[in-house]
Structure 1
Amino acid sequence: MGYLIKNGTVVYANGSYTADVLVEGEKITQVAKTIDAPGMTVIDASGKYIFPGFIDTHTHFDLDAGDFHTADDFYTGTKAAIAGGTTSILDFTTQEKGQTLTEALDVWHKMADGKSSCDYGFHMSITDWNDESKKEIKEMTRQGVTSYKLYMAYDNLKVNDKELFEILSAIEEEHGIVGVHCENGDIIKAVTEKLKSEERNSVRLHPKSRPAEAEAEAINRLLTIAKLAGTPVNIVHLSSKQGLKVVQRARKEGQQVFVETCPQYLILDEKEYNRPGFAGAAYVCAPPLRKKEDREALWEAVEKDEVDMLGTDHCSFNMGGQKTRGKDDFTRIPGGIPGTEQRPMLFYQYGVVEGRTSIERMCQLLAERPAKLFGMYPQKGAILPGSDADLVIWDPDKAWTISAKTQVQNVDNTPYEGISGTGMAAQVFLRGCPVAEYGKVHTELKGKYIHRTARQL
């Protein structure tokens, strides 16, 4: 028994065409112009697109933020992801000081295993680099972890330049990839101290405290170190035109650089921090929302194939009881916003419907390229015989309006409140199992751990 999806437009990064897709068990077994398969459940996808399941490259579920945890854990977060058509997520395991990488990975497995409604893998955030951590890189590969995260900001997380060089070199030996949070933490501290001496309680100071220059400087330093180490590198949540220019210059000189941006940097801008009262706190994230010119530069980069993937940096905090911690001091507002549920709809509306980019580019950014970079292709990110039957049947005409009251995400706010558009996941399949329709999840807890291999880019 299986499914025969007929008459849809199958989308690939390099083109689209009308075809049938045959699903047997957990796998795609055939893709052809016409398929005859008696006994299969037939789904008519006429007028709809068929995408490979989308991949969110950047989530923070069940994250310990010190005083409290994020509003979404792996149960609610992955359920929200699958509702919108995201069938795989990559979350960030964080090594604590004094902890081994293996111990950190075990913590995240306990949080996610048996609780997830989409498939999941882990990046490993290294915060305590030493001889033992270096020895563990091969063990991480054995356990299916082939991507890593480093911070250039936050005193409790960041690595120094020497460590950065050593980590890049060690992970390249395993043909892995390092993603880096690029902000100059010392600049941010200095600017913030100056701002706080003048005023403490205004949300509008948040973007000023983390200027684009701090991102651009960190990107330049990272790429200098990566060039010396002879390794590619991935820049996560790129937010600024200044940072983009540094990437463009390095690429012209032949350096291999991968770039992730997020919906918030393509759709929103810093005017959100000027909302009345404390409402702007809902938009506090790091890096912060930027200016309109930054947004436009990033869209141009999307169209020119200068952006490789669209993650969300989903890190949800409730306004009530969590964000309000910073009511009298803007630096105490927990940084992070939700978005894994709405990412495909938002990109389709603002990118495809509004003519900024193509349906094929959407497939590339949300599925194919992240699958290749993070060692999942063609198991994930592809509609090919033998691939996992992670499929999204996309209805281009379905209208929607985003609201915190109706979202699946377990948080009392959304930065996209009231935004309307068309196009959403009509049906979502996870490894051959139908799990969601039009934003409603009807089959939960089917997610499995993705054992990833070396990068393919």
Structure 2
Amino acid sequence: MKIAIRNGRVAQGDRLVKADVLVEDGLIRAVGHAGPADRDLDASGCYVLPGFMDFHTHVDDHIGRFYLADNYETATREAMLNGITTLCTFVTQAEGQTLRQAMAAARAKALDTCHGDVLWHLTPTTFEPGDLRFLEALLEAGYRTLKFYTTYRPAGLYVSYQSLGDLFQRLSPLGATFMVHCEDDDIIAHVEPGALDLSKAVSHTRLRSEEAEVEAIRRVTELALAKGASLHVVHVSTLEGARAIVAAKAEGDVSMETCPQYLYLDETFLQRPDGHHWLCSPPLRGHREAFRALAREGAFDMVATDHCAFRPEDKDSWNGQDLRQVPNGMPGLGALPHVTWKIWEDDPDRSALGLATHLALNPALRAGVADRKGAILPGLDADIVVLDPHGPERPVRSTGVPTFEPFPGFTTKLHFRSVLLRGVPRVQDGRLLEPDRPMGVPLQPDPETLPFT
């Protein structure tokens, strides 16, 4: 069936053009004059944008002793309702498990349950010769993004700078992009908890200081530049760290993301009586006006949520005396386009193009799927958002499952008139069509079908 999206303003690179978009057999066939079609979708008064990607989410998994509130079905449902047609999430190799087993377990949870497409970033935690050969085989098969941490030693996630440099050198020639959580573990370890009032959530900013993030960013970017590695720094929260990455971009393949919470929430939320609801790592910071100014100037390559939603009873399951018992993370998936829009909200056209760049094109490029996703061009998947910027005002909602809302009082007028996934209308006027028929697919090959030696 041919579908024509008519009368909208279509994102084309750095400009918006009045054009029709013709969709057929799951692909974008033409941008311009669509001609006759079997079905018309009216985009009058709307922006026509590529389907969004949330490049950084955690769903359907354990984080420490807690299981996350969102599974693949609920997360992709909320994502699709907000124009996010591809969910990027993580496979983390657990203790006593191979990476291959972890990948199979994640894939089994996702199959036949997702409303949007899914892409996995891989976090290996063992690096024996066989593990490295498996990573090489995955990269040769089309996997691109590997996630590492310079902290969380007790959780078994920590990778030393020396080991990270060795991985850069070995895997970069195969096309790996290294996503790194940058907080220096030695700086964190030298903080004396006994000198802090751990009953107050704001002490989290001392436990995980700005200095720890900035030092790790400095060392990791130096390593990446020296080894010629493609580096993506996740959830940057500090002004100094962001500026260091901007400087590093001039010397090599370095990118970064920040999150809605680091743009519009600050450490005063941690000073509230219920401040533990806003505990995440890195912590919320000060100096947000200057940080937002950097975002407005285009310093960040993408905005992603680090969506990590916990049930209210889990977030509250501490003794009120030691904040380290509180699971770190907050929801944000459903808030992503609404909060990102606010960066340039005085210029709606700039906001629309900002969404197309920071939530679609740049994530697709970094994920290695720009040959399928991320733009409205002939031959690409017809993942399309018809966005009305003048809908009825409503509260921002970060997820549909029970959890604490991190953006209380935030509202939006963005209205999703239509959302298409591979040419099939999935959302109409803010309503999920056929909720009992998920049609999302994994974007990467099943490792069980690949000829590993």
Distance 1:215 1:85 in 2: 31
One-letter code of the match for 1:187? I
SS, match of residue 135 in structure 2: helix
- Contact kept, 8 Å, 1:268 with 1:289, in 2: the verdict is yes
In the superposition, relative to structure 1, how do residues 166 and 98 fare at CA in structure 2: closer, same or farther (>3 Å)?
farther
User: Aligned equivalents of 1:367 and 1:446: distance in 2?
Assistant: 20
Q: Does 1:431 align with 2:422?
A: yes
- Partner Cα separation in structure 1 for residue 351 and residue 389 of structure 2: 13
- Structure 1: gaps of 5 or more residues: 453-457
Q: Is the 8 A contact 1:303 1:356 kept in 2?
A: no
Q: Which moved more, 1:241-250 or 1:55-64?
A: 241-250
Judge conservation of contact 1:303–1:357 (CA < 8 Å) in 2.
no
| Equivalent residue number for residue 257 of structure 1 | 254
Alpha-carbon deviation of 1:208? 2.1
- The one-letter code sitting in structure 1 at the alignment partner of 2:222 is T
CA deviations over 1:234-274 (Å, ceiling 9, x no partner): 1001110121132233334x233111111111111111111
Alignment of 1:98-113 (within 5 A): 98-113=96-111
Task: Specify the code of the residue in structure 2 equivalent to 1:422.
Answer: K
Change (3 A) 1:354 1:195: farther
Q: Retained in 2: the 8 A contact 1:350–1:356?
A: no
Distance 1:68 1:342, change over 3 A: same
Partner of 2:220: 222
Deviations 1:44-85 (A, max 9, x none): 111100000001100100121232210001111111111110
The answer to whether the Cα contact below 8 Å between 2:66 and 2:327 also exists between their aligned partners in 1 is no
CA deviation string 1:205-240 (max 9, x = no partner): 112221111100000111122122121211001110
Instruction: Say whether residues 1:288 and 2:283 are aligned partners.
Output: yes
**How many Å separate the matches in 1 of 2:281 and 2:140?**
32
Q: Which aligned pairs between 1:65-84 and structure 2 lie closer than 5 A?
A: 65-84=63-82
Q: Structure 2 vs 1, CA of residues 408 and 302 (structure 1 numbering), >3 Å: closer, same or farther?
A: closer
Distance in 2, matches of 1:342 and 1:219, equals 27
Amino acid corresponding to residue 283 of structure 2 in structure 1 = P
Determine the C-alpha separation between the residues in 2 that align with 1:337 and 1:326. 20
**Deviation of 1:378 (Å):** 3.1
What is the one-letter code of the residue matched to 1:15? R
1:396 Cα shift?
Answer: 0.7
Aligned to 1:347: 340
- Which residue, 300, 320, 344 being the options, matches 1:307? 300
1:359 is paired with a residue of what secondary structure? helix
Aligned to 1:325: 318
Matched, 1:164 2:164: yes
Aligned residues with identical type, % of pairs:
32
Note if contact 1:435-1:441 (Cα within 8 Å) is conserved in structure 2. Answer: yes
Looking at structure 1, the residues matched to 310 and 298 of structure 2 have their Cα atoms a distance apart, in angstroms, of: 32
Name the SS for the 1:16 alignment partner. Answer: strand
Q: 1:123 and 1:304 mapped to 2: Cα distance? A: 28
1:451 maps to 444
CA displacement at 1:30 relative to structure 2: 1.2
The alpha-carbon deviation at position 179 of structure 1 amounts to 0.4
Task: Specify whether residues 85 and 131 from structure 1 end up closer, same or farther in structure 2 by C-alpha distance, changes over 3 A only.
Answer: same
Can you list the C-alpha shifts for 1:281-301, whole angstroms capped at 9, x where unaligned?
22111111110x2x2333233
Give the structure 2 partner of residue 455 of structure 1: none
1:273 paired residue number: 270
The amino acid that maps onto 1:349 is K
TM-score, reference length from structure 1:
0.91
Please, what is the CA RMSD of the aligned residues? 2.0
Whole-angstrom CA distance in 2 between matches of 1:182 and 1:408: 26
- In structure 2, how many angstroms separate the alpha carbons of the residues matched to 1:414 and 1:357? 27
User: Which residue in the other structure is 2:10 paired with?
Assistant: 10
Amino acid of the residue matched to residue 424 of structure 1?
H
Which residue of structure 1 lines up, in the alignment, with residue 240 of structure 2?
242
The 3 A distance-change label for structure 1 pair 239 and 186 is: same
- Give the Cα separation in 2 of the matches to 1:21 and 1:309: 25
Please say which of residues 414-423 and 177-186 is displaced more in the overlay: 414-423
Aligned residue for 1:288, secondary structure, equals coil
- Contact in 2 for aligned 1:31/1:384 (Cα 8 Å): yes
Q: 1:19 aligned to 2:19?
A: yes
The worse-fitting range, judged by mean Cα deviation, of 141-150 and 366-375 is 141-150
Letter in 2 for 1:337: M
**Corresponding residue for residue 297 of structure 1:** 290
The equivalences for 1:90-169 within 5 A come to 90-155=88-153, 156-169=156-169
Secondary structure, counterpart of 1:307 in structure 2 = coil
Q: Does the 8 Å contact 2:270/2:276 carry over to 1?
A: yes
For 2:434, give the aligned amino acid: T
Is the partner of 1:313 in helix, strand or coil?
coil
Distance in 1 separating the partners of 2:102 and 2:393:
39
Partner secondary structure for residue 242 of structure 1: helix
Query: What amino acid does structure 2 have at the position aligned with 1:117?
Result: H
* Aligned-residue offset at 1:326: 5.6
Letter aligned with residue 282 of structure 2? P
Rate the CA distance shift 1:182–1:408 in 2: closer, same or farther, 3 A.
closer
Shift of 1:408: 4.7
Amino acid at match of 2:352: I
Q: Deviations along 1:399-449, whole A, 9 cap, x unmatched?
A: 333266xx6531322111221132232211111111123443223311101
* Aligned AA (1:93): V
Match for 2:271: what amino acid? N
CA shift, 1:451, in A, is: 2.4
8 Å contact from structure 1 (residues 95, 104) kept in 2: yes
Over 3 Å counting, the alpha-carbon distance change for 1:144 and 1:69 in structure 2 is farther
Q: Is the Cα contact below 8 Å between 1:100 and 1:132 reproduced in 2?
A: no
Paired residue type of 1:319:
P
Mapped contact 2:292–2:343 kept (Cα < 8 A): no
3-state DSSP of counterpart to 1:7 = strand
Contact persistence 1:3–1:23 (CA under 8 A): yes
DSSP 3-state at the match of 1:88? strand
Please tell me whether the aligned partners of residues 148 and 180 of structure 2 are also in contact (alpha carbons under 8 angstroms): yes
Partners of 1:409 and 1:369 in 2: how far apart?
27
Would the alpha carbon gap of residues 433 and 60 (structure 1) be closer, same or farther in structure 2, given more than 3 Å must change?
same
* Residues 349, 421 of structure 1: 8 Å contact kept: no
In structure 2, distance between residues paired with 1:442 and 1:413: 27
Amino acid at match of 1:287: P
- Give the letter for the 1:202 counterpart: K
Gaps of 5+ in 2: 446-453
